[in-house]
Structure 1
Amino acid sequence: MDGVEVVRDVEMNADLGEEVDIRALAREVSLLKAHIVKKEEAARSLHAAQSAVSTTFFEKCLSTAVAQITSRAAYELIVFGFFKGKFGDDTVIARLIYALFATIVFPGVAWLIRGNRTAGETWWKDYLKLLGQALPIMIAWAWKDFVSQVIGNLGNKFYAEISLAVGLTVFVAILQFLPCFSWATKSVNEGGDSDTILARYCIVAGQVALALGYAWNQVATWLVGRVQEKTQTPIQSFLAQLAYLFLITSLIAAATRFWQSKAAKVAEELADRSSADPTTSTSSHTVTEARAIADKFGDLTISSSAFVYGWGLLDTLDQLWFTLINGCTSSTSCTAPSNLIYSVGLSIIFSYLTAYQLGSDDKIISSLRDNAMALTVGWAWMNFFNVSISNATDGKGGWNLVLAYFVLLFAYWICTGWWYHTFLQRQRAEAKALDKDLL
């Protein structure tokens, strides 16, 4: 009997051991599956993030160029169609007419092609997606050209530049402080029925950062311009520009960090104050509103400084390529082939840097850099188009110039739609291939 019981105990222990081993193995398999799922999600997230950054960069590059071409075509048409030439204040009025036209028409068009109307993967749907992204930039560029024309007509005087920059920033800050702006921004971001045509017009005040950036860039570059006038050689002029780029990079990054930290503290203070005492006096409201306007002024100045950095990078690379390497005084004085090589080279290099997020790990520096690279690539292609048209029309104005810009505008819109659709199709194919590999 004792021997039989011993055998039974051994068999039971063996069964129990096998059960324990199976449970341990099941846990390991479960952990392995969770690890694999986590890795797959990380791979998808990384690809989605890289795809989003690349798409945004590509959209900004295409939109910058098309915004400039549209603005220039409209300007030439208005000048020669209504004013019979470029004379004095007529140029400012021509820029203002187009800026007002863009402000009145483009928000309505953006509202018409919103949401589900761009859903799909056909060429036309992708074209509408790009148009929706380009319209705000076209509004911004229209007002930037107006500001540029005003500064030029005032003789590029420093007092005029800083007065215009401060005045314009205060005006836009007041517009963005209005309750309707916050409501409209939230409504457009939510989409659906909240995204009304009225909301589209109310957010226009937030689409003029480029004009503010240009105005502040004129102020920031006034001193470096005076220094470059004293230089004896192109290399000295370039070194002055390079030193300016390093300086504004440090200053803008530091100012942005400080302002972001300050904004976070202010938001925390307001939240604590509201929870502690929901009722406030009229005088407290007045102080709070004054402070909010001041904060909005700071927000706009900081956001505009990103474009100051963008133009700093653009001017530095332009001087390196056109002045030092090609011996030209500017991009427009160089040949079309040199502009084409420059544009293609920047497009390839900056696309690679953007796609793989190479460079600084500092998020602020990376954000400034990405915005600057898109502006630089778009502007480089604009210069190539301008030089090509100038060569085609022998540098003469009139209706031949107007026709040339409208032909370019039509051709560029068609080509841009095809490029963008091809780009998105490749992104979609890569995403599907990744899903297939992971499965």
Structure 2
Amino acid sequence: MGGVDVEVDMEKNADLGEEVDIKALAKELSLLKAHIVKKEEAARSSNAARSAQLTTFFEKCLATAVAWITSQTAYELIVLRFFNGKVGYELVIARLIYALLATMAFPGVAWLVRGSTTAGETLWKDYLKLLGQALPIMIAWAWKDFVSQVIDNFGNKFYAEISLAVGLTALIAVLQFLPCFSWAAKSVKEGGDSDTILARYCIVAGQLALALGYAWNSAATWIVGKIQEKTETPVQSFLVQLAYLFLITKLIAAATRFWQSKAAKVAGASVDSTKADLTSSPSGRTVTEAIAMADKFGDLTICSAAFVYGWGLLNTLDQMWFTLIHGCTSSTSCTALSNLEYSAGLSVLFSHLISHHEVGSGDKIISSLRVNAMSLTVGWAWMNFFNVSISNATGGKGGWDLVLAYFVLLFAYWICTGVFYHNFLQKRRAEAKVLDKVLL
């Protein structure tokens, strides 16, 4: 009997050991599956983020060029039709007329091509997507050109530039402080039935950052221009510009980091009894509203600073390529071929950097500034190429020949970019499908 009991115990222990081994293996398998799922999600997330960043860059580049073409076409047509000569404040009025027309027309068009209207992957649907992304930039560019013309009429005087920058910041801060702006921004973001045509018009004040950035950039670069006038060689002038770029990179990044940290602390703080008591009285509400207005002013200043950095990078690269390498005084004084090489080279280089996450690594604030600056630089480079090409085609003359040239360029550009953008999105979609198959 004793021997039988020993055999039974050994069999039970063996079964128990096998059961323990199976449970351990099942646990390890479960952990392995969870790890694989986590890795797959990380891969999808990384690919989606990279694709979204590249798409945003691509859209901004295309929209910047089309915004300039549209603005310049309308401007030349208005000047030719309503004004006899391009002198004095008539140019400011011409820019203002187009800016007002753009503000009245484009938000309504943006509302028509929203949401489900662009759903799909056909060429026409992708074209509408691009149009929807371009319209806010076209409004921004119209007001940027108006601000630029005002500054030119004042003779690029520092007092005029800084006064315009501060005054414009205060005006936009007041407009964005209105309750209707917050409501409209929330409604457009939510989409669906909340995204009304009225909301589209109410958020126009939030689409003026480019004009604001141009005003601040004009004031910031005034001293740089004065120093460069004292230099004796193109190399010295370039070194001044390069030093300015390094300086504003550090200052703008530090200011943005500080302001974002401050905003995060304010958002995370709970409403205590002290604040409740403060807003209960009329004087307390006045103080609270004044603080909120100051915060809005700071937000706009930081937002416009991103464009100051963008123009800093643009001017630095322009001076390096056109002044140092080609010996030209500016991009528009160089040949169309040199502008084409510059535009195409920057497009390829910056697209490569963004698609390979070399821009998105490290400091997120610096990365955001660089992506914004890259899109502005590429769009502006193509703008200069088109400008030089049209000048060569028309012999530098104005009149109806110039207007016709801009109209031809406008239609040709929209057709080509529509096809180009559709092919770009199709490639992104194909890459996403391949990744899904690999991960499955």
> Match of 1:179?
179
Shift of 1:23: 1.2
Which runs of structure 2 are paired with 1:336-375 in the superposition (5 Å)? 336-359=336-359, 361-375=362-376
Residues 76-132 of structure 1 show CA distances to partners (whole Å, capped at 9, x for unaligned) of 111111213312211111100100011000000000111111000000111111110
- Give the aligned residue type for 2:220: A
Q: Secondary structure at the match of 2:121?
A: coil
> Match of 1:108?
108
Matched, 1:391 2:359: no
Residues 124-162 of structure 1 show CA distances to partners (whole Å, capped at 9, x for unaligned) of 111111110100000000000000001101111111111
> Match of 2:231?
231
Residues in 2 aligned to 1:287 and 1:421: alpha-carbon distance in whole angstroms = 51
Residues in 1 aligned to 2:168 and 2:279: alpha-carbon distance in whole angstroms = 34
Which runs of structure 2 are paired with 1:26-45 in the superposition (5 Å)? 26-45=26-45
> Match of 2:48?
48
Shift of 1:272: 3.4
Shift of 1:271: 2.8
> Match of 1:429?
430
Which runs of structure 2 are paired with 1:18-417 in the superposition (5 Å)? 18-269=18-269, 271-273=271-273, 280-359=280-359, 361-417=362-418
Residues 291-343 of structure 1 show CA distances to partners (whole Å, capped at 9, x for unaligned) of 11111111101100000000000000000000000000000000000000000
Q: Secondary structure at the match of 2:280?
A: coil
Shift of 1:262: 2.2
Residues in 2 aligned to 1:13 and 1:308: alpha-carbon distance in whole angstroms = 76
Shift of 1:221: 0.3
**Structure 2 gap ranges (5+):** none
- Bigger mean CA offset, 425-434 vs 28-37: 28-37
Asked whether the 8 Å contact 2:278–2:285 carries over to 1, the reply is no
Shift of 1:274: 7.5
Q: Residues 276, 152 of structure 1: CA spacing in aligned structure 2 closer, same or farther, 3 A cutoff? A: closer
Q: Residues 167, 275 of structure 1: CA spacing in aligned structure 2 closer, same or farther, 3 A cutoff? A: closer
Residues in 2 aligned to 1:406 and 1:383: alpha-carbon distance in whole angstroms = 17
Q: TM-score if structure 1 supplies the norm length?
A: 0.98
Shift of 1:10: 1.3
Shift of 1:268: 4.2
Equivalenced residue count is 439
Residues 360-390 of structure 1 show CA distances to partners (whole Å, capped at 9, x for unaligned) of 5111111111000000000000000000000
Residues in 1 aligned to 2:41 and 2:278: alpha-carbon distance in whole angstroms = 43
Q: Residues 226, 350 of structure 1: CA spacing in aligned structure 2 closer, same or farther, 3 A cutoff? A: same
Residues in 2 aligned to 1:267 and 1:337: alpha-carbon distance in whole angstroms = 51
Q: Residues 274, 181 of structure 1: CA spacing in aligned structure 2 closer, same or farther, 3 A cutoff? A: farther
- Give the aligned residue type for 1:373: M
Q: Secondary structure at the match of 1:397?
A: coil
Asked whether the 8 Å contact 2:279–2:285 carries over to 1, the reply is no
Residues in 2 aligned to 1:282 and 1:184: alpha-carbon distance in whole angstroms = 27
Shift of 1:32: 0.9
- Give the aligned residue type for 2:23: R
Shift of 1:264: 2.6
Residues 2-51 of structure 1 show CA distances to partners (whole Å, capped at 9, x for unaligned) of 11121111112111111111111111111111111111111000000000
Residues in 2 aligned to 1:158 and 1:26: alpha-carbon distance in whole angstroms = 73
Q: Considering only aligned residues, what root-mean-square deviation do their CA atoms show, in Å?
A: 1.3
Residues in 2 aligned to 1:279 and 1:248: alpha-carbon distance in whole angstroms = 38
Q: Secondary structure at the match of 1:271?
A: coil
Q: TM-score if structure 2 supplies the norm length?
A: 0.98
Q: Secondary structure at the match of 2:334?
A: coil
Asked whether the 8 Å contact 2:173–2:300 carries over to 1, the reply is yes
Residues in 1 aligned to 2:196 and 2:271: alpha-carbon distance in whole angstroms = 30
**Structure 1 gap ranges (5+):** none
Shift of 1:267: 3.4
Q: What's the % identity of the aligned pairs?
A: 79
Q: Residues 194, 274 of structure 1: CA spacing in aligned structure 2 closer, same or farther, 3 A cutoff? A: farther
Q: Secondary structure at the match of 2:34?
A: helix
Q: Residues 301, 121 of structure 1: CA spacing in aligned structure 2 closer, same or farther, 3 A cutoff? A: same
- Bigger mean CA offset, 424-433 vs 246-255: 246-255
Residues 376-427 of structure 1 show CA distances to partners (whole Å, capped at 9, x for unaligned) of 0000000000000000001111100000001000000011111110010000
Residues in 1 aligned to 2:98 and 2:216: alpha-carbon distance in whole angstroms = 22
The 4+ residue runs of structure 1 with deviation greater than 6 A are none
- Bigger mean CA offset, 78-87 vs 200-209: 78-87
Residues in 2 aligned to 1:161 and 1:273: alpha-carbon distance in whole angstroms = 44
Residues in 2 aligned to 1:158 and 1:173: alpha-carbon distance in whole angstroms = 22
Asked whether the 8 Å contact 2:279–2:288 carries over to 1, the reply is no
Residues in 1 aligned to 2:159 and 2:275: alpha-carbon distance in whole angstroms = 46
Q: Residues 260, 152 of structure 1: CA spacing in aligned structure 2 closer, same or farther, 3 A cutoff? A: same
Residues 189-210 of structure 1 show CA distances to partners (whole Å, capped at 9, x for unaligned) of 0001110111000000000000
- Give the aligned residue type for 1:420: Y
Residues in 2 aligned to 1:139 and 1:149: alpha-carbon distance in whole angstroms = 16
Shift of 1:277: 5.2
Q: Secondary structure at the match of 2:313?
A: helix
Residues in 1 aligned to 2:153 and 2:94: alpha-carbon distance in whole angstroms = 13
